[in-house]
C-alpha cells in the first residue's frame, strides 16, 4: 500500500508524433507548477506506434530533466495513448442475468469492440447507475495490449511509474469541459494535431462518440509547399503569419488551404448526421470547441462557424488553473497544444 496517494503528486505526459509534452499541477491549489515541451524527429512515433525506442527514451529523459517551473519530484505519471489506436463508446448494461455488474460490462463491451478480447486491455467508467430501463450507462475503452505494453516499456525505461494510460479524448474533455460547469449542451471538440485530428462529441455529461481523421497541420503545410513551390520553413511561416485571413497576403494562403478546411467542415456535418441517426437520445451539436496546435490558425474559428452555422471558439485549458507569471508567459501563446497534457495532469 502507498503511504501517500501517488495521484496527488503525479504529472501528465503526452506523447505525440511531432512533440512530447509534460504538465504537473498542484491539484489542491489548481495551479500549474511544471511544464515542458520537446519537438521530436519524424519517424520516432508513427501512427501512434513507437518505432525508435532509444531515440524516444532520450527525448523523454531530456523533457523531464529540467522542466520550466518546479523540478519534478515524482516518478508517477499519467500517459496519453493515441485515439486512433483505441476504441471508446458509451454502452447500456443490464446485469439482470449476470452475477456482477463488471461481468455484465465485459460481456456487453465484447459485443461492440472490434478487437479480439485476448489482445486488448479493457477499462470502463460508470456514468449513470440506472436509467428508465434499469440499465447502467457505462463508458468503455479498449486499447491493444501491444500498444499499451510498448508505452509502458518506454516509461519504465526512464525510471517513471505509469499510474494510468488514458485516451486522448478523455484527457481533452477533462481539460476543457469537465471543469466548466456552464457547458451542458451538446458540444463537438475538435483536437487539431500535427499529424491527426480527433473529433469528440460530448453530450449528456459524457463522451458519446469520437473519431480520428488524417486531417492535420502537417497536411496543411505540405499543401502550401506544393502549391507555392516553397520549402517547409517558409510554408510554416506563411501558415502562421496569414492563416485563413482574407486580406493578409492578399488572401493567397487562404485560397490554398481553404479547400482542405472545407473537407473538414463536410466531415463535421457527416459525423453529426451519423451521431443523430445511430445514437439513442442524441442531440444536435450546439457548440464547437477547437484545441490542439493546429487550432491556432488565424481566422479558423470564424471559418468553421460560418461553414457549420455553429458557435465556434478556441479552447483555453488555462481558464481554470492558476500559474506563476513566468510559466503563464511560456505557455500562453501555445496553450491549446498542451490541452491533452493538462487533462492528463488533472486526473
* Distance, CA of 258 to CA of 250 (rounded, Å): 14
Can you tell me the mean pLDDT for 286-298? 93
Q: What is the pLDDT of residues 196-210, one digit of tens each?
A: 899 999 998 889 988
Using N-to-C axis directions, what is the helix angle for 232-242 and 252-278, rounded to 10°? Answer: 70
Angle at 172 between CA 168 and CA 173, to 5 degrees: 120
How much is the pLDDT for 1? 34
Q: From the centroid of its chain, how far is CA 296?
A: 15
The tens digit of pLDDT for each residue in 208-266 reads: 988 889 999 999 999 999 999 999 999 999 999 999 998 888 899 999 999 999 999 99
What is the per-residue pLDDT across 145-177, written as a single tens digit (0 to 9) for each? 999 999 999 999 999 999 999 999 999 999 998
Q: Is pLDDT of 179 > 80?
A: no
Residue-level length of the chain: 347
pTM to 2 decimals? 0.89
Cα-based distances in Å from 124 to 50, 178, 216, 266: 25, 17, 29, 32
Q: How far apart are CA 167 and CA 222, in angstroms?
A: 28
* Predicted pLDDT at 2: 40
For residue 71, the 8-state DSSP code is P
pLDDT (tens digit per residue) in 94-141 = 866 556 888 888 888 888 887 788 899 999 988 876 665 668 888 898
**What is residue 99's DSSP assignment?**
S
**Per-residue pLDDT, 27:** 86
Q: Which three cell numbers stand for residue 126?
A: 460508470
DSSP string computed for 261-328: HHHHHHHHHHHHHHHHHHSTT-----EEEEESGGGGSTTHHHHHHHHHTSEEEE--TTTT-EE-HHHH
What would the mean pLDDT of 41-66 be, rounded to a whole number?
95
What is the Cα–Cα distance from 234 to 141, expressed in whole angstroms? 41
> 254 or 2, which is more confident?
254
Per-residue confidence (pLDDT) for residue 97, from 0 to 100: 57
Quick one: residue 48, left, alpha or beta (phi over 0 = left, psi -120 to 50 = alpha)?
left
- Mean pLDDT computed over every residue of the chain: 89
Can you tell me the mean pLDDT for 182-209? 88
Amino acid at each position: 500500500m502507498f503511504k501517500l496517494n501517488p495521484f496527488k503528486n503525479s504529472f501528465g505526459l503526452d506523447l505525440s508524433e511531432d512533440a512530447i509534452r509534460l504538465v504537473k499541477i498542484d491539484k489542491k491549489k489548481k495551479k500549474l507548477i511544471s511544464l515542458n515541451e520537446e519537438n521530436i524527429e519524424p519517424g520516432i512515433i508513427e501512427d501512434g506506434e513507437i518505432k525508435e525506442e532509444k531515440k524516444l527514451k532520450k527525448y523523454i529523459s531530456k523533457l523531464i530533466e529540467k522542466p520550466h517551473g518546479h523540478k519534478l519530484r515524482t516518478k508517477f505519471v499519467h500517459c496519453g495513448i493515441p485515439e486512433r489506436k483505441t476504441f471508446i463508446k458509451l454502452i447500456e448494461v443490464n446485469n439482470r442475468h449476470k452475477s456482477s455488474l463488471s461481468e455484465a460490462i465485459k460481456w456487453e463491451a465484447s459485443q461492440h469492440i472490434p478487437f479480439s478480447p485476448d489482445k486488448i486491455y479493457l477499462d470502463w467508467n460508470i456514468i449513470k447507475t440506472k436509467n428508465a430501463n434499469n440499465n447502467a450507462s457505462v463508458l468503455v475503452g479498449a486499447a491493444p495490449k501491444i500498444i499499451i505494453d510498448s508505452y509502458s516499456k518506454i516509461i519504465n525505461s526512464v525510471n517513471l511509474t505509469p499510474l494510468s494510460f488514458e485516451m486522448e479524448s478523455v484527457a481533452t474533455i477533462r481539460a476543457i469541459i469537465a471543469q466548466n460547469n456552464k457547458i451542458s449542451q451538446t458540444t463537438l471538440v475538435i483536437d487539431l494535431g500535427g499529424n491527426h485530428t480527433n473529433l469528440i462529441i460530448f453530450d449528456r455529461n459524457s463522451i458519446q462518440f469520437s473519431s480520428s481523421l488524417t486531417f492535420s497541420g502537417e497536411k496543411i503545410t505540405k499543401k502550401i509547399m506544393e502549391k507555392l513551390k516553397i520549402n517547409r520553413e517558409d510554408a510554416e511561416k506563411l501558415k502562421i503569419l496569414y492563416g485563413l485571413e482574407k486580406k493578409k497576403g492578399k488572401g493567397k494562403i487562404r485560397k490554398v488551404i481553404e479547400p482542405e478546411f472545407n473537407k473538414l467542415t463536410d466531415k463535421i456535418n457527416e459525423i453529426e448526421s451519423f451521431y443523430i441517426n445511430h445514437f439513442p437520445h442524441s442531440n444536435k451539436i450546439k457548440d464547437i470547441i477547437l484545441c490542439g496546435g493546429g487550432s491556432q490558425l488565424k481566422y479558423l474559428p470564424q471559418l468553421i462557424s460560418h461553414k457549420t452555422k455553429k458557435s465556434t471558439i478556441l479552447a483555453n485549458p488555462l481558464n481554470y488553473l492558476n500559474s506563476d507569471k513566468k510559466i503563464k508567459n511560456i505557455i500562453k501563446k501555445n496553450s491549446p497544444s498542451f490541452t491533452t497534457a493538462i487533462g492528463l495532469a488533472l486526473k
